A and B are shown apart, each in its own frame.
Chain A
């Protein structure tokens, strides 16, 4: 049983998705999906603990050995990403029941859970697979289901947001397909470790360079790196709350993982950063992304849209750490993948509570909300502090590592960028706090606190934000080992 965990990680949600269509009854479907996500979470915990002992697990699907069959390869890096995705999906599903009943028509609810499980299966598949073409297939599974999920938003702009994401996402995925095709053309293999072994001797070829270029652009579209982020703000702002939480916390992280895998494992550091100037390009884009997206976030009146722009900025931080190509920088980036999932999860969940009571999240309607929904807004404040990077929250830990990495290299201007980015975050978080706590609300409309089934997962994430901010030894250790694995050095 244990040796089949890598494939079960993907198969369980993949088979559960069509099963939802047969169950139909909404409570039943919800309980079933929750059960599936708990199983998936348990598997990912077990995989991570196995990998921490024995470094790598290789699983050949159907018993076909690697060059012929597809192999799943789990190491510390993707085991950690699997854990991020599965833990968030479990919390999201606890949260989903009430939130979805309010935001989606009753006869579509079972379809919603089905699409959510498909998206989960896709994301887990991308993360675990050791085959480049298989990665593309899972990428499309997760993308297609997320287009459908986004389009379920109540606002009609959800439809145009979903359409826009479909167009840009498909272009991105097709770019990835071209890149994989070019790699196959010169190496004759699709297996990632075979590719990694054959690429060094082919690094002089123009085809190799073009392949890396196509892959980088395609993946950057998926992870919403500035200036390829245009699909993201509307997609997060107008989709149902549960979808915003799920996508914001997991989808971009998985895309970043894919970028790491291609740049570090497949193409290798030598080729990606010496033969090709990827580090300089990414650093410039990351810095511009952090500064512009944070600035644009300040001027948003829709709070979900504000957080979406903030996500673009946070992706910038992660890419910034990667572009420093050092152990500390990568550790910071991998930590921030986990930490950003925690903070954005908590923030979007608290906004979901607001949507549950108010129906909208415009700043104008949120005045005085701090008194009427104290637990919800307190969760928002802690999430916001974490986003800014205040000590004792997770945001501080990952920014600290990014700062250390910049200081190691002696790049003072990066330190300045990190500080300015944090100050801009103070400004946009403060706008919400000011409206919610210091403005007189409309006392006639009575608004109560959100129900417990929404508050419990929200506060679970808030407490995780504080817990991993105080005792970061576990996450830092895993992130450091993951970074060392990618760089091919001892931690």
Chain B
């Protein structure tokens, strides 16, 4: 593996995917604020959406529309799959945020260490 094969234009998207994925993973693990964790989770999921969308792309292809002039088009299946995954992501975020609201009502804080401290005192 030489340097050139790493920076091939076709791989650019995948580098973005990995960078986003690792950044988001770090946010989920390292942040103590429950909202920030959910933001991290969102970016993490988004990186996977990009992975799917990139793999559907065909060089020189257009959107998959049935018309006379169109010969090559991108693979629509991964894009459709990821629409489902986006819906799942929205549902997860909504549920996560709803939980955070209730945690805030129950504990008065959304910082992980303060919640942990209160649990220890019980």
CB-CB under 8 A from B119, the residues of chain A are 157, 160
CB-CB under 8 A from A71, the residues of chain B are none
Task: State whether A178 and B84 are in contact (beta carbons under 8 Å apart), knowing that A166-B95, A171-B41 are contacts in the complex.
Answer: no
Distance A156 CA – B118 CA, assembled complex (angstroms): 11
Contact A170 B48 (CB under 8 A): no
For the complex formed, measure the closest distance between the CB of A163 and the CB atoms of chain B, giving whole angstroms: 5
Contact A166 B44 (CB under 8 A): no
- Is A162 on the interface with B (CB-CB < 8 A)? yes
Task: State whether A159 and B99 are in contact (beta carbons under 8 Å apart), knowing that A170-B41, A181-B52, A184-B55 are contacts in the complex.
Answer: yes
CB-CB under 8 A from B106, the residues of chain A are 156, 159
Distance A159 CA – B101 CA, assembled complex (angstroms): 10
Query: How would residues 127 to 161 of chain A score, 1 for a CB under 8 Å from any chain B CB and 0 otherwise?
Result: 00000010011001000100110010000110110
Task: State whether A178 and B45 are in contact (beta carbons under 8 Å apart), knowing that A140-B88, A144-B91 are contacts in the complex.
Answer: no
CB-CB under 8 A from B55, the residues of chain A are 181, 184-185
CB-CB under 8 A from B34, the residues of chain A are 163
- Is A177 on the interface with B (CB-CB < 8 A)? yes
Given contacts A163-B103, A177-B85, A184-B55, 6 further A-B contacts (CB under 8 A): A157-B119, A171-B25, A171-B28, A174-B48, A178-B48, A184-B78
Query: How would residues 95 to 107 of chain B score, 1 for a CB under 8 Å from any chain A CB and 0 otherwise?
Result: 1100110110011
CB-CB under 8 A from B84, the residues of chain A are 133, 137
- Is A167 on the interface with B (CB-CB < 8 A)? yes
Kindly state the interface size class of chain A when it binds its partner: 20 to 34
Contact A181 B78 (CB under 8 A): yes
The 3 closest A-B pairs by CB, nearest first: A156-B106, A140-B88, A163-B99
For the complex formed, measure the closest distance between the CB of A72 and the CB atoms of chain B, giving whole angstroms: 18
* Residues of chain A in range 118-133 having any CB-CB distance to chain B below 8 Å: 133
CB-CB under 8 A from A174, the residues of chain B are 44-45, 48
Kindly state the interface size class of chain B when it binds its partner: 20 to 34
Chain B residue at smallest Cβ distance from A147? B95
Distance A171 CA – B96 CA, assembled complex (angstroms): 13
Distance A174 CA – B92 CA, assembled complex (angstroms): 11
Query: How would residues 37 to 54 of chain B score, 1 for a CB under 8 Å from any chain A CB and 0 otherwise?
Result: 100010011001001100
For the complex formed, measure the closest distance between the CB of A455 and the CB atoms of chain B, giving whole angstroms: 31
B contact patch SS: helix
Distance A171 CA – B38 CA, assembled complex (angstroms): 11
Distance A159 CA – B97 CA, assembled complex (angstroms): 12
Distance A31 CA – B97 CA, assembled complex (angstroms): 32
Contact A163 B85 (CB under 8 A): no
Contact A167 B78 (CB under 8 A): no
Query: How would residues 311 to 347 of chain A score, 1 for a CB under 8 Å from any chain B CB and 0 otherwise?
Result: 0000000000000000000000000000000000000
Contact B44 A156 (CB under 8 A): no
Distance A310 CA – B119 CA, assembled complex (angstroms): 23
Contact B92 A144 (CB under 8 A): yes
* Residues of chain A in range 167-183 having any CB-CB distance to chain B below 8 Å: 167, 170-171, 173-174, 177-178, 181
Distance A353 CA – B81 CA, assembled complex (angstroms): 44
Distance A364 CA – B108 CA, assembled complex (angstroms): 29
12 of the cross-chain contacts (CB-CB < 8 Å) are A136-B85, A137-B84, A137-B88, A140-B88, A151-B102, A156-B103, A156-B107, A159-B99, A160-B119, A177-B85, A178-B51, A184-B78
Contact A162 B51 (CB under 8 A): no
Task: State whether A148 and B95 are in contact (beta carbons under 8 Å apart), knowing that A140-B88, A170-B45, A181-B48 are contacts in the complex.
Answer: yes
Query: How would residues 49 to 70 of chain B score, 1 for a CB under 8 Å from any chain A CB and 0 otherwise?
Result: 0011001000000000000000
Residue with the highest number of chain A CB atoms closer than 10 Å, among B44, B48, B81: B81
CB-CB under 8 A from A177, the residues of chain B are 48, 85
CB-CB under 8 A from A137, the residues of chain B are 84, 88
For the complex formed, measure the closest distance between the CB of A267 and the CB atoms of chain B, giving whole angstroms: 20
For the complex formed, measure the closest distance between the CB of B23 and the CB atoms of chain A, giving whole angstroms: 14
Distance A137 CA – B48 CA, assembled complex (angstroms): 15
For the complex formed, measure the closest distance between the CB of B32 and the CB atoms of chain A, giving whole angstroms: 12
